[in-house]
Amino acid sequence: MKEGIHPEYRDVVFLDQQTGNHVIIRSTAPTRETIDIDGQTYPLYKCDVTSESHPFYTGAQTRVVETGRVERFRNRYATTAGALKKKSN
């Protein structure tokens, strides 16, 4: 390999800002901050969303979709139920 053309490949801490969880993996991600974990200093990369906080992975997204479906069903049923009651009288 040629010297000086490759990015630095090192251990980096990826911090999920919503949950506070962190993962130490090897990466070339650019960082400006550092963090001390278990007596060692690592470069810190702050993530807005990870699989632990994203609605798709946590299941929060499906609850929102189900809620919308239930509301639509109730609205649809409410209009037909009122029409059926008027016809039966």
In a domain, 9, yes or no: yes
Q: Is the pLDDT of residue 40 over 90?
A: yes
Nearest C-alpha neighbor of 40 from the set 9, 8, 11: 11
Average pLDDT over residues 16-40: 92
Q: Print the domain residue range for 42.
A: 1-51
Q: Specify the number of domains making up the chain.
A: 1
Tell whether 86 is covered by a domain: no
Q: What is the pLDDT of residue 10?
A: 94
CB 50 within 8 A of CB 86: no
- Is residue 72 a part of any domain in this protein? no
Residue 60 lies in a domain: no
Residue 68 domain flag: no
Query: pTM for the whole thing?
Result: 0.58
How many Å apart are CA 52 and CA 17, to the nearest integer?
A: 11
Q: Does 88 reside within a domain?
A: no
In a domain, 40, yes or no: yes
The answer, yes or no, to whether residue 41 has pLDDT greater than 90, is: yes
Mean pLDDT of 9-34: 92
Mean pLDDT score, 38-48? 93
